[in-house]
Amino acid sequence: MEHVMLTTYVSGAIGRVTEMHARYYSKQWGFGLYFEAKVASELAEFLTRFHPGQDFFKVALTQGRVHGSIAIDGIHANDQGAHLRWFITSSALRGTGTGNRLLQDAVDFCRHKEYKKIYLWTFEGLELARHLYEKFGFRIAEELPGEQWGVRVREQKFVLDL
């Protein structure tokens, strides 16, 4: 894989980030239409109300194509914490350190904004992601069975106090 550039929104990002999520979670976990539509609609809603003073969105580009993303939704950062969302890298970038760079930039943004905590929702079984979250100091704060992604999983809320 050639040079990876991290940047803000680029045309096609909503579609590509949705595609990466849909393909990975369909193949690995059986997630379907409900999940893909949820990612697309929530990411589009976030980006249309994006405020640079409170929110963060970054993509990893290789040869002009999106191969990774991460976002911080800061709309409720002062009371609930900053919400880390849409963190993914394509299989072409896994193991290259790109995920580490994206997560570091997101955490640095939150520290710069003096947010008190960052949280994310994921589910049991994503061991590579969990390892990365824990490396950055995130800890499981809550676990429960749930279906927010359209498939029954053991949901996990990770929190990083800043």
pLDDT one-digit tens code per residue, 71-111: 999 999 999 999 999 999 998 898 899 999 999 999 999 99
Which structural domain range is residue 15 located in? 5-161
Tens place of pLDDT per residue across the chain (162 aa): 468 899 999 999 999 999 999 999 999 999 999 999 999 999 999 999 999 999 999 999 998 999 999 999 999 999 999 999 999 999 889 889 999 999 999 999 999 999 999 999 999 989 889 999 999 999 999 999 987 767 788 999 999 999
- How far does the chain reach from its first CA to its final CA, in angstroms? 34
Q: How far apart are CA 53 and CA 74, in angstroms?
A: 9
Q: How far apart are CA 162 and CA 11, in angstroms?
A: 32
Q: How far apart are CA 70 and CA 133, in angstroms?
A: 13
Q: How far apart are CA 15 and CA 86, in angstroms?
A: 12
Q: Which amino acid is at 14?
A: I
Handedness of CA 93, 60, 85, 32 (dihedral sign): negative
Assigned token pair, 78: 């002062």
| 8 Å CB contact between 119 and 81 | yes
pLDDT attached to residue 78: 93
pLDDT attached to residue 89: 95
Half-sphere exposure (Cβ direction) of 10: Cα atoms closer than 13 Å: 17
Q: How far apart are CA 157 and CA 43, in angstroms?
A: 19
Percent of the chain with pLDDT over 70: 98
CATH number for the domain spanning 88: value is: 3.40.630.30
Whole-angstrom CA distances from 69 to 38, 125, 126 are 16, 20, 17
pLDDT attached to residue 153: 87
Count up the domains in the chain and report the number. Answer: 1
Long-range residue pairs from 137-140, CB within 8 A, at least 24 positions apart, any chain: 137/161
pLDDT attached to residue 33: 92
pTM of structure: 0.93
